[in-house]
């Protein structure tokens, strides 16, 4: 049963206390700033940035697309490579290496990629920046210490021995038990085109004399080694050896069938999507796959695939960088929800609702392999990727639509019902929700040799489970509903010993604790329950002296909360979590609100440079450039409403 949410639209609350009044005024300025960022079509879409590996891979991709002739790049390619190289160099650390998040330590994969890209761009080996980078790489174990994807990419140009790279066979598309769909959504969109490329065994040219010999540590084996323990790793390494034999001596007919199946899978997902997976790595690999499959450079499919990839580039004359993807649905949903909760700038909500409603996905995607009888619905993170609506975005859109009214009320109501049913159907057996699929938990797949990107699976997590419970609650589902009860039980079971919750898609325990507490509150959990009290006490215990909250990406490496400098997004998450847990008057909350008030800019915005978004824990982090604005707006609005009783 869906309540009539249109009768509960938020409105500004008039209160008398000084801090609450100041918070209300700050919320008004914040909402006005966010409103100015809305695009004419009704959506919001901020820049999304990451580390230097994107620009490094861009240079590698240019080598694939436009190899130098007699050592000389085409002038247009030369200009792009130079811009990318300068973008990389601006982020070099004092010790010579490159990190994967601001203020983080040098990281081997980012450093090896940067060295390759900079050397290819023409930076001399005796340049002091290259000398320091090479020394740092060697101190971290040399090129052999890089992960599988770095080695596989380099092997395409014979810069790392192919026999020492893990096999990625196209036969994965033929395996029974839907093995391909037991991988995470993003992994299968990477694996399939890369398997096609791998099967062709390309040996792409590099400039004469170009190599990476100086990065090799002679004391370290270049290959994977069996260990003495019996386990999945040894089994998969043995299978990898068998696969290498198969590639040399196996059935060519089976290989042709596998490549054809993989090709058809990829081509189907290039349709109804802004590039394969609508994210950087598979978009790049799909162009490579089309090349080895024999698609001409002017073939419409290849032209469009490359155009979608190039659209990720930001080159405005002053800045040059590559975005990992676009985030319009995510940004629009959170911005609209924050504005709706504030009660200010509500004229933006109608266009936002209409824009979101138009992008409901009505065709079946990969999720339907496990839920074939569920009516399609949901939203993707991107402008378009009909094959992969995700649960987190769908829940966030449903929260936004509980605040925003589109032009066609009846169409919106039926959309709500479809989306709710879709969310309920995607609940996993353990009671939680994951990002794209249900029950994506074949843990042993994490041990395959090419799974060292730490994202082979899409397990359920507290942050998404909490947001889904919040969305269900906003549409009238209570603890009487079995799915809500199971979601609450999941969150209680997955609370950490210190009282926090793990956050998979935001950094890290502050994010998870915020949305777990909000989900519990939306489900009607009593704020006197021990798990709620423990969550709130944990948030109060980790507050910084300046009144804000901050957490380093190193929390994922340490598998425990690691404090960091205060950020506005993480401060907002902590305040939202505390208020959801029943605390809206402690000194912790007051100091957090004061921190946001004191740091707000005159135009209503905040400034934030640290990454607080998570792509792959321990591997890839994101800076969502609107997190610093719409989450503080939500926190200020929640505080104002709490003070009003």
Q: The domain that contains 514 carries what CATH number?
A: 1.50.10.20
Residue at 294 is within a domain = no
Angle between helices 509-522 and 568-580 (to 10 degrees): 30
563 with 624, same domain: the answer is yes
Q: Looking at 97, 112, 146, which one is the last position of a domain?
A: 146
Indicate whether 371 and 397 sit together in one domain: yes
539 lies in the same domain as 568: yes
Q: DSSP string covering 398-417, please?
A: HHHHTT---S-HHHHHHHHH
Average pLDDT over residues 404-433: 97
pLDDT confidence of residue 12: 42
CA distance 320 to 87: 6
Q: Are residues 481 and 596 in the same domain?
A: yes
Domain count, the chain: 2
Q: Residue 446: what pLDDT?
A: 75
Q: Do residues 417 and 514 both lie within one domain?
A: yes
State whether 14 and 124 are in the same domain.
no
The answer to the question of residue 240 being in a domain is: no
Share of the chain above pLDDT 70, in %: 94
Say if residue 43 is in the same domain as residue 62: no
Domain range for 71 is 52-146
- Sign of the dihedral through C-alpha 444, 450, 454, 455: negative
**Lowest mean pLDDT, pick from 6-20, 151-165, 570-584:** 6-20
**Amino acid 177: pLDDT:** 87
What's the Cα-to-Cα distance from 480 to each of 292, 315, 399, 472, rounded to whole Å?
55, 53, 20, 12
- Dist. CA 109–CA 106, nearest whole Å: 9
Using DSSP, state whether 335 is helix, strand or coil.
helix
From the list 554, 433, 569, the residue with the least C-alpha distance to 99 is 554
For residue 564, give the H/E element and its range. strand 563-567
Q: Are 544 and 634 within one domain?
A: yes
pTM of the model: 0.94
Look at residue 338 and tell me if it is in a domain: yes
Residue 551 belongs to what H/E stretch? strand 549-551
Residue 345 has pLDDT above 50, yes or no: yes
State the pLDDT at residue 295: 98
In a domain, 207, yes or no: no
CB-based contacts of 274: which residues, under 8 Å, 6+ apart?
308, 311, 326, 382, 383, 384, 385
Looking at residue 628, its pLDDT comes to 98
Is 164 a domain residue? no
- Of 120, 146, 172, the residue that ends a domain is 146
Would 490 be classed as within a structural domain?
Answer: yes
Among 146, 173, 202, give the residue marking a domain's end.
146
- 25 and 126 together in one domain: no
pLDDT at 329 over 50: yes
Q: Which residues pair with 623 in a beta bridge?
A: 49
Is there a domain that residue 275 lies in? no
In this prediction, residue 310 carries a pLDDT of 97
pLDDT in tens, 517-541: 999 999 999 999 999 999 999 999 9
Could you list the active site residues?
392
Distance CA 532, CA 466 (A): 13
pLDDT score recorded for residue 553 = 98
The secondary structure of residue 367, as a DSSP letter, is G
Tens-place pLDDT, residues 172-223: 999 988 999 999 999 999 999 999 999 999 999 999 999 999 999 998 877 6
Give the DSSP H/E element, type plus range, for residue 75. Answer: helix 75-89
Is pLDDT of 7 > 90? no
Q: Are residues 17 and 87 in the same domain?
A: no
Please name the residue that has the structure tokens 């004469």: 208
Specify whether 10 is located in the same domain as 142.
Answer: no
Query: Is 233 a residue whose pLDDT tops 70?
Result: no
Asked if residue 453 has pLDDT above 70, the reply is: no
Are 363 and 406 part of one and the same domain?
yes
- Report residue 395 as tokens: 């829940």
**Average pLDDT over all residues of the chain:** 93
pLDDT band at 228 (very low <50, low <70, confident <90, very high): low
Q: How confident is the model at residue 9 (pLDDT cuts 50, 70, 90)?
A: very low
Contact status, residue 515 vs residue 463, Cβ threshold 8 Å: yes
DSSP string, 48-73: EE--THHHHHHHHHHHHHSPPBTTB-
In a domain, residue 123? The reply is: yes
């Amino acid at each position: 049963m869906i309540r009539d949410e249109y009768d509960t639209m938020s409105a500004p609350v008039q209160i008398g206390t000084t801090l609450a009044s100041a918070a209300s005024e700050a919320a008004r300025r914040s909402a006005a700033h966010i409103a100015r960022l809305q695009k004419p079509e009704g959506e919001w879409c901020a820049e999304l940035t990451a580390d230097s590996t994107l620009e490094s891979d861009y240079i590698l991709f240019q080598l694939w697309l436009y190899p130098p002739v007699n050592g000389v790049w085409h002038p247009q390619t030369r200009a792009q490579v130079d811009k990318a190289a300068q973008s990389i160099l601006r982020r070099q650390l004092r010790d010579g290496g490159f990190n994967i998040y601001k203020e983080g330590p040098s990281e081997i994969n980012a450093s090896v990629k940067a060295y390759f890209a900079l050397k290819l761009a023409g930076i001399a080996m005796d340049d002091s920046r290259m000398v320091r980078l090479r020394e740092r790489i060697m101190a971290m174990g040399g090129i052999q210490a890089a992960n599988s994807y770095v080695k596989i990419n380099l092997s395409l140009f014979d810069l790392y021995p192919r026999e020492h790279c893990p096999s990625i066979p196209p036969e994965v598309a033929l395996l029974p038990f839907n093995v391909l769909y037991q991988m995470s959504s993003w992994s299968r969109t990477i694996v399939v085109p890369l398997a096609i490329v791998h099967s062709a065994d390309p040996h792409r040219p590099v400039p004469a004399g170009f190599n990476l010999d100086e990065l090799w540590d002679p004391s370290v084996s270049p290959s994977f080694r069996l260990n003495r323990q019996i386990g999945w790793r040894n089994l998969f390494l043995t299978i990898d050896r068998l696969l290498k034999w198969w590639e040399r001596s196996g059935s060519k007919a089976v290989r042709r069938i596998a490549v054809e199946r993989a090709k058809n899978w990829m081509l189907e997902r290039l349709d109804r999507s802004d590039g394969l997976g609508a994210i950087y790595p598979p978009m790049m690999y799909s162009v490579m796959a089309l090349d080895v499959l024999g698609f001409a450079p002017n073939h419409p499919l290849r032209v469009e695939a490359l155009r979608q990839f190039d659209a990720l580039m930001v080159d405005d004359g002053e800045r040059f960088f590559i975005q990992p993807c676009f985030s319009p649905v995510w940004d629009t949903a959170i911005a609209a929800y924050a504005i709706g909760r504030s009660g200010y700038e509500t004229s933006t909500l109608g266009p936002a609702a209409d824009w979101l409603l138009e992008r409901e996905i009505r065709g079946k995607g990969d999720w339907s392999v496990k839920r074939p009888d569920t009516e399609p619905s949901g939203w993707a993170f991107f402008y378009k990727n009909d094959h992969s609506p995700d649960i987190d975005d769908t829940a966030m859109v449903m929260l936004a639509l509980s605040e925003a009214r589109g032009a066609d009320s009846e169409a919106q109501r039926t959309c709500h019902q479809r989306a709710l049913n879709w969310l309920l159907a995607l609940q996993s057996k353990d009671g939680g929700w994951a990002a794209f699929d249900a029950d994506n938990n074949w843990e042993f797949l994490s041990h395959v040799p090419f799974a060292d990107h730490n994202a082979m699976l899409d397990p359920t997590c507290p942050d998404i489970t909490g947001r889904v419970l919040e969305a269900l609650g906003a549409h009238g589902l209570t603890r009487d509903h079995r799915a809500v009860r199971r979601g609450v039980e999941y969150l209680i079971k997955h609370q950490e010993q210190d009282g926090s919750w793990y956050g998979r898609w935001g950094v890290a325990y502050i994010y998870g604790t915020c949305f777990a507490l909000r989900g519990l509150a939306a489900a009607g959990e009593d704020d006197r329950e021990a798990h709620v009290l423990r969550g709130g006490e944990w948030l109060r215990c980790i507050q910084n002296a300046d009144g804000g909250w901050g957490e380093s990406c190193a929390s994922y490496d340490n598998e425990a909360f690691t404090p960091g400098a205060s950020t506005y997004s993480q401060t907002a998450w902590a305040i939202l979590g505390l208020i959801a847990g029943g605390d809206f008057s402690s000194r912790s909350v007051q100091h957090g609100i004061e921190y946001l008030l004191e740091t707000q800019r005159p135009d209503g915005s905040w400034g934030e440079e640290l990454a607080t978004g998570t792509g792959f824990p321990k591997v890839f982090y994101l800076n969502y450039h609107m997190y610093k604005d719409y989450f503080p707006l939500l926190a200020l609005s929640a505080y104002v409403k709490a003070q009003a009783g």
